[in-house]
Structures are given as C-alpha cells and as structure tokens.
Structure 1
Amino acid sequence: MEVRNKRVLITGGSSGIGLALVQVLGSKGAHVAISGRQNDRLHSAIASLHAAGVAAKGIVADVTTQSGRDATVAEALEALGGLDILVNNAGGVRAGRLEKTTESEIRTMIEVDLVAPILLTQALLPSLRESGDSAVVNVASGIALIGMPFYTTYAAVKAGLARFGESLRRELTGEGIHVMTAYPGATDTPMMESSRAGVELGFVREPALAVANAICSGLEENAFDVIRGGEARAQMIALNHNDPSTLDRRFAGMKAELEEAVRDHSAL
C-alpha cells in the first residue's frame, strides 16, 4: 500500500504509539485525524504536530461510548472526505493479581481494548469499502502472543483483538480491505509510566517511534502481522508453543519481583 495521500483515522492518537504514527504517516504525505478522550492532551498533541509541520485533525471523543464512536466517525469522515486506513490504537491496562482487579477495571479493559475497536471497525467498513484500497490496523500487544502473569484480562482482550483481526482479514479477502495486527512489546509511552518492570524482568522498552515506523512499513508491505521484540521475542513465541512449561518455570522464578513491579501499573 502507498500511504501517501491516504486518509487515516488513529484512535488514541494524542500520545505514545498513536502520536508517533501520526508523525510517521504525516511525514509520508498521509492525511490524518486522531481521536482522544482528554481535550487538553489532544490539543497539545495537535499543536506539537503542527509545529513539526504535520497537519492533523483532532477529535475529542471516548470510543468506548456509542456517542463517542458516532462523533469519531462523523468528524473523521467530514474532515478527511472519506477513509482509507483505520488504526485501532486506543487502549488501557490494569495489571496485578486477578482477584485484586476490580470489576470496573476489568470491564473498562474489555470495552476500550476489544469492544470499541470491533464496533468502530463495523461502523467504518462502508467508508473503507468505498476507498477500494484500504486497511484496518489493530494495535494488540506482545502479551497477546505470550500470556504473562498479572496481565490476565489485558492478555485476554488483546488476544481477542488479534483473533478479531485475523478473522476479519479472511472475511474481507478480495474485497479491497486489508487487515493487519501489530504486537508491540514494552514501549516507552505514557501507558508504561506506572510500571516499574525493567530490563531485569524482560521489559526492554523501545521508542514509540520505532514501533510506529514498523507499523508504517507493515502497511506499505501489506503484512499480516508486525511483531516487535526481534529474535528474542520470536524464540519466546516458539517456546510458548512447543514447550510452555519451560516458560512457566521462567515466570515462576521472577514471580514475586514481577508482581511487585507491576502492581501499580494502571492506565485506564
């Protein structure tokens, strides 16, 4: 896919991977609209983009609500005149033991990480069909490929998003809409600020811009998946499939330290 002049909507585009992706796609000549819940953060992001020479339309909306999705769809289509690429990037996380996670936190993760992307994609499929050369990008997580302790609900919803994308890709084969799933590892974003898990626990954070560049390259190559983490992540994925008990033992050896490091990890 050639991203130049493509009309792009990125949810959760006011920070982190979403904001970095605006910079990358905008620099390649795409026309971008971003949505976000927080008015101040969104306007600050738009101002920083404009200062860097990247034009973007900001949409203040909560995509977990019907009214927020309606506003996102209407404002994006009006601003862009149609849609070629939808990036379901908005997400939230609450780590810690399952029995210490509240029902509200669980439901919020399900709504923002899974339900909202499904319903927003459904609403925008007619516009994507009109394009004739379009794509849906779902930003999942490396935890969707390797379930980690203390991320039970987050792993579940991100894995659900990944399988949603895989099924939708096959459903839309030959219809001019490509579907790609991105699996970032630990990334240096505001979402990770409350986590104290570091390199010693396997959380090697890479810049959001590196993830954004990889997603853009995946779009240009019509890739099915973009998996971050290099050879080390590939080996863990293979081990998780072929000998999961070995990973069980590895996680057991760091269990106490990991629980302490992520017990306050929350970005909802």
Structure 2
Amino acid sequence: MAAQQNLTRTLKLIRLLKQRPGKTLAQLAQILECDPRHARRFMNALEEAGFIIDKEGQRPPRFYIFEDERRQQADFTEEEAQLLQVALATIADTHPLLAPLRQKIYNHSTLLPLANGLVDQHQSQVVARLAEAIRDRRQVQLLRYHSVNSHSISDRLVEPYSFSENYTRLTAYEPESETTKTFKTQRIEDVALLATAQTNPPTEVPIDPFDWPGEQKKVSLRLTYQAYHLLREEHPLTRPDLAHDPANEDFPYSYIGTVYSWIGIGRFVLGVPGQVRVDSPEEFRDYLRGRVGEFIW
C-alpha cells in the first residue's frame, strides 16, 4: 500500500509541476497530503529520473517542470521500464492515470505493451508490432483491415504515429491518400512490419480528448449529472475543461474545450440522448443532425 501511495503521489506531483504558475513546497505538500520534506524527496526523485525542475521567485520559491523536459530526459532502459511495470501492477486498472503512464513508458523504452494491459492476446500482438514501428519510425502493412466507412476489407500501407490512451485506436499517416487517419486496432487482423523507413515522420500528431486528430475546433456543451460523470470516466482528458454551474438545474455542468474532429465527441453526445445540450458551434449541431438523419427507423 505504501509503494502504491508513493507512486500515486509521484504521478500527481508531475501533473502539478506541469501547471503554471509554479507552486511552493508547502502548497505541493498540502495537495499531496504529505510532509514538505517528503514532497522535496519526491522532487529529487523526479530530477534523478531526468525531469528538469526549475523555480521562480524567492520568498518562497515556486517550482515547476521545465517545458522542454521531454527533449532532454533519457529514454528508459528495458530494465527500468520492467521495474516500472511491476510498480504499476499495484495500481487498480480503473485509475485514470494508469493508461497514459503505461503508454509513455512504452514509447520511451524498448519494452513493448504487454497482454495484460490490453483487451486480448490478439490486440496485444497487433499493438506490440505497431509500437515497434512507432519506435523505429518504420512503415507497416495493416493486413485485412475492416473499414466500416468503405464497407471493405483491405491491406493498408501506413506510417504509425501514436496510440490512444487505451490502445484501441492508432493514429497513422497513409502515403496513398497523403492524410493522417485513425484505425481501430481491433479491426486489424495482422500487422506486417516493413524495413522501409517512414516518409513523413511526425513532429507530433495532436489528438483531442476523444482520441481523434484533425483541425482545432472549439465546442461548448451543457451536461446533466449523468452525462458529466460519463464524460469524466470515459474521456478523462476532458476533466480540466469541465465546470459546475449549480444555477442551472437541468444541465448543472458544462464542457468548454478544444476538439480536432466532430466524430469522437459526436459519438459521445449521440450515445447519451437528452443528456447534453450543444451551446456552440452551429457546425457541430449540423453534424449531429446529419448523423441522426442517417438512422433507419
């Protein structure tokens, strides 16, 4: 229990130190519910792991993680990643930070995703090969990919970029169409890892809290109690943009955030009929009306 508590505090500390303005040692200790000396030890451990912690001000100083620390920290070795995997095994699978932490470990080490972190053995093997291609910047063939949009089964040549938090979707560049797309890993029967290097390696492909890439769009929603809790549970990255408005009895919560596609957020809204009110934009309302019109009654 003590090991799990310390790991949870360390994860929370990383999140706190990424926020600006920085926080004093006393503030960090209060939020972490520990002694300031222990908070200082946690920061020392992060610095030993490669994080660059800076401070601003003097009385008292406020600490924060330097923004470019990802470019400066060393990759995990396989032994280090395996040790972290053992530590992560003590955390419940429902913990919202577990999936993104696992992905960061895999992306920064030679350790590929394990079966117990995925839905089944098939998906584990598929994701393991894709993770290797992401790490080595190589092309792959998605063998017998089942496309719902085109109602077809075909092989797809792609350049894998990244996974969604739970490994259910792959973001990849498709040279044939010259576009970045998302593919469901469960619809991939097999993966052929090619020796060909990626032709369009990403700087970083951003995805929204609903796991979709694209162009930025602002959206404003009103949520019932039920929709609010479903959104928090199913898409935890939306949490910073959720707010409580007790004056509105019917829709006491709001979500005002940035998305890159109407598809992901649209699926959520359509999945909870009557529980979400779209304040803006009109383009999103039109998208939802179009999707509703596709239903066969």
Interval containing the TM-score (normalised by the shorter chain): under 0.3
Choose between structure 1 and 2: higher helix proportion: 1
Give the TM-score taking structure 2 as reference length: 0.25
Choose between structure 1 and 2: higher strand proportion: 2
Larger relative contact order, structure 1 or 2 (CA cutoff 8 Å, min sep 6): 1
